[in-house]
Amino acid sequence: MNQRRIGSLSVSEVGLGCNNFGRRLNAAETAAVVNAALEAGVNFFDTADIYGQGQSEEFLGRALGTRRDAVVIATKFGGVMEGRGKGAGPAYIRQAVEASLRRLGTDRIDLYQLHYPDPEVPIEDTLGALGELVKAGKVREIGCSNFSVGQLREAAAVPGDAARFASVQNEYSLLHREPEDGVLDECERQGLAFLPYFPLKSGLLTGKYRQGRPLPEGTRITKDGRMADLLSDRNLVLVEELIQFAEAQGRTILELAVSWLLARPAVASVISGATSPGQVKANVNAAGWQLTKEQLTEIDVIAMQSEGTP
């Protein structure tokens, strides 16, 4: 698989999102998914301390075992760890990184990311603490998640030799294009790698949810009432249009969803979650379509036309 850069790190174009570990998958099921990813050429694994309240990190570290040096591990801090704290304060960062290292069973984290902006802590304090971790060899690169253009600029403007973010991880897909309102341009201006999460919009961009057809049983969207708005008329109409476009090219909507993201220069890796080895292989195989400028323009036209759908 082709690789791209996050600072000093070289990562596979398709990464494995580990948010299902410790939530929907137990340790054995996690190991099967991790093994499939490694066999398919994935070297980038993205998790967070709050996924399964630590179990995702624990299961990932256990599944990798002696293969840890062959991969790039990204994790996040700052979300609520029940009974243990949250946020981006220096004292908590030092506590959180030790806990993540222990759960992952490693002596360093390749990409350590602030999960959410913390309005109660000056960004220079956060960067100062993260810089100490880099100097100590416990972290190789640092990143942020869910940051706006203004927040990225504020971090970049911290004076002196403060540590600098190498990446930003925000939601981005054919059905959620908010990063195009400035964040992607700011990434290119600063030389930041962009990591899109929810690239398949919780399965909508795999073709399993179709307009006018029965909903598949047991899926996350159908089981979680809070996600019902994803199945709006606008989204389902756009999905049908995108399926037609992809099939006209002899491709699938999954290939379109992944390859469209990789056509963005700032994107380093498409982080796709998976609950089975088969899903991992499908996500990896979806990365091979080199979209032309004309095709990208046609996709934009399809999306704009669907904006008028209620």
What CATH code is carried by the domain that includes residue 181? 3.20.20.100
Phi-psi region of 114 (alpha: psi -120 to 50; beta: other; left: phi over 0): beta
Does residue 222 fall inside a structural domain? no
> Is 166 a member of any domain?
yes
Whether residue 28 is contained in a domain is answered as yes
**What pLDDT shows up at residue 227?**
64
Indicate the pTM of the whole model. 0.93
What's the Cα-to-Cα distance from 219 to each of 51, 73, 77, rounded to whole Å?
Answer: 19, 28, 28
Weakly modelled stretches of the chain, pLDDT under 70: 217-228, 306-310
112 within a domain of the structure (yes/no): yes
Q: Are strands 9-12 and 3-6 parallel, antiparallel or unpaired?
A: antiparallel
User: Is residue 15 one of the residues assigned to a domain?
Assistant: yes
**Rounded distance, CA 235 to CA 249, Å?**
21
Residue 85's pLDDT is 93
The whole-number pLDDT of residue 225 equals: 57
Q: According to the 3-state scheme, what is the secondary structure of 209-271?
A: CCCCCCCCCCCHHHHCHHHHHHHCHHHHHHHHHHHHHHHHCCCCHHHHHHHHHHCCCCECCEE
Decide if 247 is inside a domain. Answer: no
> Residues with catalytic annotation?
51
Number of compact structural domains in the chain: 1
pLDDT in the model for residue 309: 45
Q: Is residue 300 part of a domain?
A: no
> What's the pLDDT tens digit per position in 125-163?
999 999 999 999 999 999 999 999 999 999 999 998 889
Amino acid in position 258 = V
Domain that holds residue 74: 3-200+257-289
Helices (H) and strands (E) in the chain, counts: 11, 10
Q: Report CA dihedral (50, 204, 260, 7) to the nearest 10 degrees.
A: 0
Amino acid (1-letter code) at residue 151: Q
**Does the residue 37 lie in any domain?**
yes
